[in-house]
Amino acid sequence: MTLMEDAKKGIVTPSIEAVAKAEGIDPETVRSCVAKGLIAIPRNNRRETLPVGIGKYMSTKINANIGTSRDCIDIDAEIEKAKAAEALGAHAVMDLSTGGDLNEIRTRILKAVNIPVGTVPIYQAAASQKVVVEMTSDDMFNAVRKHAEQGVDFVTVHAGVNLNSLERLRQSDRIMNVVSRGGSFTLAWMLHNGEDNPFFAEFDYLLEIAKEYDMTLSLGDGMRPGCIADASDRPKFMEFITLGELVKRARAVDVQTFVEGPGHVPLNEIELSVRGMKELCDGAPLYLLGPLVTDIAPGFDHITGAIGGAVAGMYGTDFLCMVTPSEHLALPSLEDIKEGLLVTKIAAHTIDLIKEGPRERAWEQDTAMAYARRDLDWEKQFELAIDGDRARKIRDARKTESDACSMCGELCAVKIVKEAFAEKKKEE
């Protein structure tokens, strides 16, 4: 029995209880939303992991991408990244490995962290052959089953990439065509074999596997725009329509889903994308990388992604995939992972400040910081900060004898007004 089945029957499971407690809301609200597919709690029935709620009324969650490439195979380094991401507050990690012993890498990551782990099974299917297009439908589904058996909590499948979306792509004037790696594998396979995407054509079989292991399906954005010029075009929206249909089919058989969204989108089109996806996908939890709001900031794309993520959160995004400074440039280092995660945490918190559900707790944090700043209570400020160690190091490196910061010293506005009020009170 899946979590969604239990929820539809009115059962408040331990996972639902744990999520409700963590979020500070009524368990019945969580149960109802899980039953409707508005909240997903990705948790494979073969793995004990921390229950994480993603979706309506939930605080904004963060995923960290890790994994080897064929050019850089260092399993220990990826394990260190996974552990660091969890320690810094990531709510999930995705293993995107394409190089080395993929089964061993995945096994070790699953053991290393206590948060949900996601994968992209088509990477392993493609790796099973010398050429990507020579993988078979069996290779693709066998990879999904293998990942499920190992305990993977959610898998990205680009089931919305089909012959219809391929035709839309052919008719478009895109500059970047397809930038999703899984999407490109799928399209190349379709063109080579002259057949539709097996994950779309045999979606019912995919649902059978997911249901057996209570594994959540992350419906991937294989047609996402890879540059600002390609945003909000027909291929992207054609995929949205298909994903909405697949969400309904998954809910009908009690399989949890969330939906992945566009990559590069200018600020003024983010609302259109997010609201469009939410409407077409019947309120399913929305998982975005970015979106990146400009193409000219390599080395700073963690910032362009955080800007886009914060704006997207205003309109309903539930789950942010962190972007690192090495996006578009290289496999991220440990420091890149840390930097990207912290910047994404800032974006997630700014969303929570205005989001129904977590808003009250987020405001409490900011209000506490306001009081700490008013009182020049530095220890409290460091305690409340996203990265207190970094804040402390910056202050200590440029500290003066004043109890204010070295930017203003004794000319500190907060200190002057505080002392003025205190003096006036004495006179009265």
Q: Quick one: 337 and 380 in the same domain?
A: no
Cα-flanking dihedrals φ and ψ of residue 344, to 5°? Answer: -70, -30
Is residue 8 domain-resident? no
State residue 34's pLDDT score: 98
Q: Quick one: 304 and 329 in the same domain?
A: yes
Domain total for the chain?
A: 2
Q: Which domain holds residue 191?
A: 40-357
Q: Quick one: 335 and 368 in the same domain?
A: no
Higher pLDDT: 57 or 428? It is 57
Q: What is the mean pLDDT of residues 365-385?
A: 96
Is residue 205 domain-resident? yes
Joined together, the tokens standing for residue 402 give 């004043």
Residue at a domain's end among 357, 377, 392: 357
Q: What confidence tier does 399 reach under pLDDT thresholds 50, 70, 90?
A: confident
| Res 99 pLDDT > 90 | yes
Digit-coded pLDDT (tens) for 102-134: 999 999 999 999 999 999 999 999 999 989 999
| Res 424 pLDDT > 80 | no
Is residue 25 domain-resident? no
For the chain, percent of residues with pLDDT exceeding 90: 92
CB 404 within 8 A of CB 415: yes
Is residue 9 domain-resident? no
Is residue 101 domain-resident? yes
Residue at a domain's end among 357, 372, 398: 357
CATH number at residue 215: 3.20.20.540
Q: What is the mean pLDDT of residues 20-35?
A: 98
Q: Quick one: 350 and 366 in the same domain?
A: no
| Res 18 pLDDT > 90 | yes
Q: Quick one: 324 and 236 in the same domain?
A: yes
State residue 367's pLDDT score: 98
Q: Quick one: 339 and 374 in the same domain?
A: no
Q: What confidence tier does 423 reach under pLDDT thresholds 50, 70, 90?
A: confident
Joined together, the tokens standing for residue 104 give 């061993």
| Res 419 pLDDT > 90 | no
Give the type of residue at 69: S
Residue at a domain's end among 301, 324, 357: 357
Strand 117-119 relative to strand 216-219, pairing: unpaired
Digit-coded pLDDT (tens) for 281-339: 999 999 999 999 999 999 999 999 999 999 999 999 999 999 999 999 999 999 999 99
Q: Quick one: 227 and 103 in the same domain?
A: yes
Mean pLDDT across the chain: 96
Is residue 19 domain-resident? no
Q: Quick one: 110 and 217 in the same domain?
A: yes
Is residue 410 domain-resident? yes
Q: Quick one: 343 and 368 in the same domain?
A: no
Q: Quick one: 326 and 368 in the same domain?
A: no
Please enumerate in sequence order all residues whose Cβ is within 8 A of that of 16, keeping only pairs 6 or more positions apart, or say none. 3, 7, 27, 30, 31, 34, 41, 51
Please enumerate in sequence order all residues whose Cβ is within 8 A of that of 273, keeping only pairs 6 or more positions apart, or say none. 231, 232, 236, 261, 262, 265, 291, 312
Q: What is the mean pLDDT of residues 407-419?
A: 88
Q: Quick one: 75 and 131 in the same domain?
A: yes
Digit-coded pLDDT (tens) for 132-184: 999 999 999 999 999 999 999 999 999 999 999 999 999 999 999 999 999 99
State residue 261's pLDDT score: 92
Q: Quick one: 228 and 137 in the same domain?
A: yes
Is residue 70 domain-resident? yes
